[in-house]
Amino acid sequence: MPDQILITGIRGTGHHGVFAEERRDGQEFIVDVALGVGLRRSASSDDLADTVDYGIVASDIHALITGEPHDLIETLAEDIASACLRHAAVESVTVTVHKPQAPITVPFDDVAVRITRSRPDA
């Protein structure tokens, strides 16, 4: 199992959803990622070039949350996973997309989807 860099609670207003009011009004989405990254080399070198810049990853994720809308948060999660895997040091990623204001008619705390993806060569 690779080491992990965890980024939790990335927040942004997005317009994802199948209902017109979700697309029109938007709502907050929250994303957590666990990046599978070998950290031995960067721990020894103390050099950012030997790891992943989690500030850039977080900005990439925020741009996807606030960017082009999708009907399903499953699609948003897939796009986020793909963006994370474009960083050379990332071998695998687990993405959780939270939709705490989902249009559900009963009391609830959260709706979330979680996916795990890896590089084909990892």
Residues with a known catalytic role: 99
- Written as six digits, the tokens of 81 are 């996973």
Strands 90-98 and 112-118: antiparallel
**Separation of alpha carbons 60 and 27, rounded Å:** 19
Strands 4-14 and 27-37: antiparallel
Check: CB of residue 85 under 8 Å from CB of residue 93: yes
Write phi, then psi, for 72 (nearest 5 degrees): -115, 145
CB contact set of 119 (below 8 Å; sequence gap of 6+): 85, 90, 91, 92
